Every structure is written in structure tokens, then in C-alpha cells.
Structure 1
Amino acid sequence: MDLCLKRFWEKGSGRQLTEWSGAKLNLNIPNKFVKLATKYDVLGDEAAKEIFDGRSFGEAYLYVRQLSKNKVLEDDNLTDHLKKMFLTMQEKPAWVNDDLIKMGCNLCMRSGTNALISLRDYSLMSGYDYAYLNKALIYTGALKKGPAKRITDTLDFWVHVTRDKALEINGLGYQYIVRTRMIHSFSRLMIKEKHTDWDKEKWGEPINLGDMIATNIGFSLFYLHGLHKLGMQISENEELGVFHLWKYVGHLLGIPENHLPNNKKEATEMFYLWTDTQVSADEDSVMLANALENESIASNIFKKAYQKNFIKYLHTCYVRFLIDEETCNRLQISKIKMYSLFPIFRKLRNKLLQKITSISSKNYQRAVYVGNILQTKISEEYLKADSNIHFK
């Protein structure tokens, strides 16, 4: 294992993850992620080829968007792989537990702005420490498009797939997943066709199954651990619900469900094995981290310079609080004084609020309701501010 990543597991945030999850880390077993780096969503790619046959990207995007709004039938006049992809996605697996998914959605909503901090400043930022994972972002122009677009698109996707009943066939979350699956395949096909310098031996296939699983774990394990660090009390059913929610999302995105974790212990053990196929931050990682740290400066969501600079400072405080110092330094995150002040205040506030918002209380449903409104409003503000770079 890469020396820096080894220290991450021995002394950094990885050790905290291990202690919190009760995981048993072991490299003396066959690492399935070596093979998964060579695997990808073949059905999605074949469907994408049919979608883009004779269509521009904009036309193909609108076509898929329309298809995702209505149930596809066996006798519909669609190309073979495209029809097969939709029919497969429409067949709800027997293992899906709607009650667990609802609990996961409830937590996502009631966690309010804590969720957005955990996802942005812990999950997304720490993901930049894995150099091979970042290569697909670089090759699809993430730096040229700017961090605001990735934040906007990721937030828009997350909000829509984590609402109650969003994953019902042709629901809004389901529609977003169909479009995201298409974009994954389009990006993979584009990289393989246009970038002959893609190092398949080192990086595996673009957007391979191993990297998709790691990203999925970012939305479940890292999200939950971030909430834990911010002082949120999470019930066992809520925790299991988040993993079940993202297991179903992963299935819809083309990941075989037997490769997706059911709980934090499995997720941590999987992530540990995946990191053994990675190397720690390189120059591209630092550029991506720097772009994210300065996202509020570049974004149109804040108008005044003092607002932009304060929000940047606030996010840097949370990054430094949530991610271990060595990883932050590797990503060249700004060093600031008293960075723990705001996060600790939020942590104490969360603990106080939760004393009156227990699972058995009617205030719990109010917290879900208010969190949903707050997250939706923030997502809409980002979409409005960056509408010039987002598909409508």
C-alpha cells in the first residue's frame, strides 16, 4: 500500500473510520478491486452508443431524459441495448426494502446543512487524495468547467435521489440516475476514443466499477462518519437505511449489488481494499482540491467579496476539522488559526437540538420537513447562480 495511505489508516481519518465502524482490516486476502478496475458498465456503454448514434450530446441528453419519465415496455420501438438497460432498471430487486430506504432518506433530509458540509468538506474533498480516482475528472475537463459546476451537479443529484419515494420507477431520483448513468458511459467512451494517453495499466478503465463503488461509499460511509464527527446522533435504522439507499442507487447505476456494502463495517473494509489499488495525491489532486477550496470565490451564488471570503474560510475550517492534518497538508489545504471553533460550535448545537428531536418525537418529522426545504432551497440557489453551465 502507498505509504501515505498506510499512515491514513494507521494514524489519520482511516483509523477513526476503523474504530467507529468496528472494521477488521486485512490485506492478506484476494483483493477484488484489482479485477474490478478492469470492469465497467458494459450495458450502459452499449446503450450509450445507440443513444448517440446520429445525435448530438444535447439531443441525446434530452432523448434519455424523456425516456426516463415513462415506463419502457417490451414492445416499444427502441434499440436492443437501450431497451434492455431500461427494462433491467425497471425490475425492482426482491432485496430492496422500501422502509429502510425511507429511513435513509429521512436522515438525509433531517441532517440539513450538516449533510452538505459532510458531503462537500469531507467526502468530496478527501476523495481528491486518491490520484488514480481523479484521472477521469481531469480527462473530462473538471478543472476547465470549474468547481462550481461539480458542486451544483453533485448537490442537485444528491438532493433528488435522497427524497422519499424518489427512486420509484420514473420518479425524479430515478430520472436523475438514468441521466447520470448515461453521462458516465458517454464520458468513458469519449476518454477511450479521444485520449490515447489514458494509462489503463495504472488507472484501470475510466470510471471503472471499483472507482464507482468507492464513490458510492463516499455518499454512504463518509457522509455518515462526517455527521458523526459533527455530533449528530444517528439511529441504527437510519444508518442501515443510508447504506440500503445507496446500494439501490448503485444497482441502478450499473454496479452489481453483491459488490456494495450493507453497513459501515463492510463499507470500511471494502474501502480499505480499494485504497490498496490507489496512490495518494499528485499534482492533479492538489489542483482539484485548490479549486474546491476556492469554489465560493468563483461561484456566482455569493455577490460580495467579504461573503465569498468568509464562506471559503468557513469551509476550510470544516475541511481541517473533518480530515486529518497529513491529508490536508498533502492536498495543500490552507492553514488557518482556530479552525475548530465553528465546527465545535455546530457540534454542540447539534447535540443540544437533538435532545428535543428524538426518533419518537413529533419534532423528528418536523426536522425532516425543515431539512428538506433547506437543502432544496440551497440546491436551487446553486442551480440559479450557475444556470449558464447546467443543463435545464
Structure 2
Amino acid sequence: MKTRAEPPGARSSSSSSSSPGTSALDPARRASVIRVAYLISALDVTWMFLQFSVTPYLAKKLGFDTLQFGYLQTTVGVIQLFGGPLFGRFGDLFGARAALTLACSATVVFFLLLANATVPAMLFVHKLPTVFMHVLPVTQMVVADLTEPERKAEALSKQGLCFGVGMIAGSTLGGQLNTRYGERLVAYCGAAGSAVSLLLVLLYIPRNTKPDAAAHDPASEAGSKSIFSVGEIARLMKFPRVARIFVIKLVAGLPSVIFQVMFSIIALDFFKLQPQQNGYLLAYFGIVQMVVQGVISQLTARFPERSLLLLAVGVACLVGVAQIVFMATVTQFCVIVVPMMFSLSLFSVVTDSMLTQSVPPSDTGTMLGLCASAQSLLRTVGPTVGGYFYMNYGISSIGLSQFSVNTVVFIYLLLRRSSKTAAEKE
């Protein structure tokens, strides 16, 4: 795995016990903080999937149709679209502890508002705290800051295991609680759980996880210290390969996001699943996620990122074909989920690793915030596009978009790789 050059002043400022580009914390302390970051990630995903077992069913009770539910999802995308890069820059400037404290506190407020959503307008109001709810990007920043450059992809891939654990726990617990006690109690459980995450942050996450080199980087010090500096955020796009990988992340990721944001409606309307059944299906997703992450960890340790990116996009093409031809029953869908989760997870890990290695350590939070905003941008247009496709052309149209878009990206990557190989031979 290739690593980027160190930023100016990195070697002179690093402690002797730290590898270039990693925190000056001693190895034992770094390992401990990374483990806590993984735990916070798993808990955050648990509360997120707890919420998934509430929102679609509560929206239906309050009279939302498919299009209105799409508008609700779009609202979240718009809010997080603007919040992502700003929050990532907040983490770079003020440290991991401050960023995670704000994110977990916002999650507590989010669930309290959800518990008291008794009219349609309140479902939109309870989404407002999502502007600060970026726990996963910040924990990714912590892991990236505390990991050697050559091991970043492997370390980031392990967060997929946290995602799987959280998906299983949150969806199973949410389905059971919703069936027995209703949406209100589930929302209060989410608020209590988020308070536990906040306590872990305050007790175990250090104020700053940046390398000493990043903290004293002359280039960083010369820049603006404002969170709202658009120029400082846009500056990252000028680093080599960042803009290209970012565009690929947006284009290839759109069909998958369309399916993800439409899944609640598909489960409710197409598969006719009850809350408890939906919880079991999401728990199955979590099991698959954990299995494929084990495979991905091995792949990232053995193969170059360019090859893995090509593999992820190629598998996504095959998933699109399967969605068109075979996705008529829940059983068939459960089979398709395996390559789908593999492609999604591998694509996310590889692109995030490539992007964070392309920028200085002082900007990893902002870069991961931009990655989160890419997902938010897709979630902004995804519900509207997905709702239109689903209502007018059926579920197979979503698979067709997956196949078409990823085929174009696959051909582009293949041609670029061939031309680069030919240039290297010359």
C-alpha cells in the first residue's frame, strides 16, 4: 500500500516513539483509545438501527405516504450535507473529545424529540440535531490519526465489524421493543444509550488525537482557523487524486444509497414485513456485515487499493443484475445481500483510506467529514429519485440503475489502470 509524503515539519516534531503520521501517544494508550473508538462506533450504530425500527412505522401511523417519507429522508440528507465538512473541521481544530461530546449530546436530543413526535411536523423537527450527529466520521478520524499509514485501510475496515454488531443489536432490540412496548419507549432507550456513549467519550477519549507533527504543521498554522472556512475545506480537493476518488465515490455510490434509503419502504410495502420481522432481517444484515468484514480485512492487508476498488465496483455491477432478475422474495433478497454488503463495505473502506492518506494528518477529520457529506448529498437526491423509480417502474429499476452506473465506472477504472500500466512499462 502506497503512502503519501509527510507534511512539512512532520519528522522534526514527532516523538521518537511514534511512527510518522501517527499520534505521539504511547502504543498501549493508542491501542486502548482505538478500542474505545470501536466500542463507541458499535453503540452509535446500535442506536441508529434502533431508530430505524421506529421512524417508518411512526411515519405510517402519522399518515405519511411514500413520497412524504422520501421528503423526510431528504431533510436529513440536506442537514447532514452542510454539517459533515464543518463538523469534520471542528474535529480537526478542537479535537476528538470535543467533537464526539457534541455528536453524542445531539443524538440524545434527537431521540428525546423522536419520543415526543406526536404530529407530522415533529418528525421533521426531530431531524434537526442530525447536523451534529457525526459520531462515525469522528471515530474514523480517531482510528486514522492513531494508526500507521500502511495499516489505515485495515484499521478502518474493522469499523465494519462494529457496524455489524450494532446492526444486529439495534435492529433486534428495536424490533422486539417496538412490537411489545411501542415507538415511544424505543426512542427513550435510544436517548439513554446515547448518554452511555457520551459518558465513554468523556472518560476515555483524549482531547486531541492528532500527531504532534500535525499540530505544529506550518502549512496548517498558516491556514484559517475558522470552522466555516470554505476555502480551507475546498483546499483538500487540490491534493493529488482526491478530486478523482471523491467523484468516483459520489457517482458509484448513488445507486447503492438509493436502495438503502428506499429499503424501509421496500420492506414495508413490497415484502410486507412487520416491525419484528424487519428487525430480524436487519440483524441478518449485521451478521453478513461481520462475515464480509473479516474477508475485507484480509484483502486490504494483501492487495493494493486500486485493485480492490476495481473489485468493489465490479461486484456492484453483478449485484445490479441480481436485483433486476432475482429479487422477488425475501429469501432471494437474503442471498443478494451477501455480495451487496461485500461491495458496499469494500468500496467505502478503500475510498476512505485512499482519501485520508492523500491529505495531511491535520485534515483527516475534514476529509472524513467531506466523505460523510458525500453520503448526505446522495441521501438528499436518493429518496426523491428512488421514490420516483419505485412508484413508476418498480423495484427492478433500482437494480438497473445499480448495474448501469457501476458498469460505466468499472470501464473507466479499467481503462485508467490499463493506460497507467502501459505508461509505467514505457
Is TM (by shorter chain) over 0.5?
A: no
Using the size of structure 1 for normalisation, the TM-score is 0.28
Structure with higher helix content: 2
Using the size of structure 2 for normalisation, the TM-score is 0.26
